[in-house]
Amino acid sequence: MNSDFSSSGSVQWHLGPIIDALRTSRESTHNIRHQGRVRELPSREVLGQVVHGVSAALFPTHYGRPDLNDESIDYFVGDTLNVTLDRLVGQVRRALRFTPQFAEADEALLAEQARTITRAFAASLPGIRALLVSDVQAALAGDPAASSVAEIMLCYPGTIAILYHRLAHCLHRLGVPFLARLIADIGHSLTGIDIHPAAEIGGSFFIDHGTGVVIGETAIIGERVRLYQAVTLGAKRFPVDASGALVKGAPRHPIVEDDVVIYAGATVLGRITVGAGSTIGGNVWLTQSVPPGSNVSQAQSRNT
C-alpha cells in the first residue's frame, strides 16, 4: 500500500510539525493579539441576521412577511425587534472590546454600555426609516426605469447599500466603529458598493446602478445627491506624522453639497468641495473645488 495514504484512503499530511509551528507563530513569534489576549470577535453571520431583522422591522412587508395585515403587523414588528435587539446587544458587547475606552473594562460595565448603545440604536430607527423612505423616493423620481417602490426596494443595489450604510453609520456614531465596519463590509459584499460607515450622507440619496462606487471615511454628502456606477469619492493624499505613521481620521475626502449629480466613472479626490447644484460628467478626474452650479466634463481632444 502506498505509504502516503491511510487505510481509509485519505492523504497523510504529517500535520504534527505544522501544528507546532503554527502554535509558535500564533503564541510568540508573530503574535498579533491585543496584549496577548484572545478577544471574542463579532459574528458576521449574526450581524447579517441583525440587519435582516432591522430591515424587516423598518419595512415589514418588503423585507419581512408579505402576508402581514393591519392586525398582525405591529405584533410582527415588536417580536422581530425584540429578537433582533437581543442579538445586537451581544455583538455590541464584543465590538466594544476593540475600542480603547472599553478594552480593559470589566464585564458588567461592558454589558451595561452595550445595552445603552443598543437602546439608543433602537430609538434611532424611526429617523433612519424616514431617511430611507426619502432615498427610495429619490430613486423613483430619478430613474425612468423604476416602475414601483417595491422594485426599488427589492431589486436596486443602491437601495440595499444605503440601507446598510444608514444602520452602520448610526452604530459608528454611537461608539462601535468596528461593528459598523463589519456591517458596511457585508453590504459591500452584497452590492459591490463600498461606503465607509463614518461617511455623512444626507437624505434623498440615490446611487443608480452602483457597481464600483466608493465613498471614503470623511466624505460629506448633502441632500438630493445622485451618483452613478464607478464613482469614487476618495483621498488625494495620506498625511503622516513625525514618525512616518499615517494620521488617522484627518479630513481627506470630498464635500459634495446639495443637488449634485456625479456621472459614471468620475473620480473626485481630496478635501475639496463640489458646490451645490453642480454636475460632474462621466470619467472626470477632479481634484479642485468647483463653485455652485458648475458643469465639469472631460476636455475634448482635437483631431489633428
Residues 303 and 250 in one domain: yes
Asked if 120 and 46 count as a contact pair (C-beta separation under 8 A), the reply is: no
Residues 225 and 264 in one domain: yes
Question: What CATH number does residue 86 fall under?
Answer: 1.10.3130.10
**For the chain, how many structural domains are there in total?**
2
Question: What CATH number does residue 244 fall under?
Answer: 2.160.10.10
Residues 254 and 181 in one domain: no
Residues 224 and 168 in one domain: no
Distances (CA, A) of 223 to 13, 191, 205, 241: 59, 22, 7, 34
Specify the DSSP element, H or E, that contains 273: strand 273-274
Looking at the domain assignment, is residue 287 inside a domain? yes
Range(s) of the domain holding residue 223: 212-304
The tens place of each residue's pLDDT in the chain, 304 residues long, gives 455 555 555 568 889 999 999 988 888 777 766 555 667 899 999 999 999 999 999 999 999 999 999 999 999 999 999 999 999 999 999 999 999 999 889 999 999 999 999 999 999 999 999 999 999 999 999 999 999 999 999 999 999 999 999 999 999 999 999 999 999 999 999 999 999 999 999 999 999 999 999 999 999 999 999 999 999 999 998 777 888 788 888 899 999 999 999 999 999 999 999 999 999 999 999 999 999 999 999 865 444 3
Q: Of 302, 209, 290, give the one whose Cα is nearest residue 256.
A: 290
Looking at the domain assignment, is residue 96 inside a domain? yes
Residues 6+ apart with CB under 8 A from 183: 47, 50, 51, 164, 167, 168, 171, 197
Q: Of 167, 216, 209, 211, give the one whose Cα is nearest residue 193.
A: 211
Q: Of 108, 80, 81, give the one whose Cα is nearest residue 93.
A: 108
Average pLDDT across the chain, whole number: 92
Asked if 296 and 284 count as a contact pair (C-beta separation under 8 A), the reply is: yes
Residues 112 and 235 in one domain: no
Enumerate long-range contacts of 85-90, CB under 8 Å, 24 or more apart: 85/118, 85/121, 85/122, 87/46, 87/49, 87/50, 87/53, 88/50, 88/118, 88/121, 89/114, 89/115, 89/118, 90/46, 90/114
Spatial separation of the C-alpha atoms in residues 123 and 104, rounded to whole Å? 28
Residues 165 and 74 in one domain: yes
Residues 235 and 184 in one domain: no
Beta bridge partners of 256: 221, 274
**Lookup: cell for 8:** 481509509
Residues 147 and 234 in one domain: no
Residues 218 and 168 in one domain: no
Residues 168 and 116 in one domain: yes
Looking at the domain assignment, is residue 28 inside a domain? no
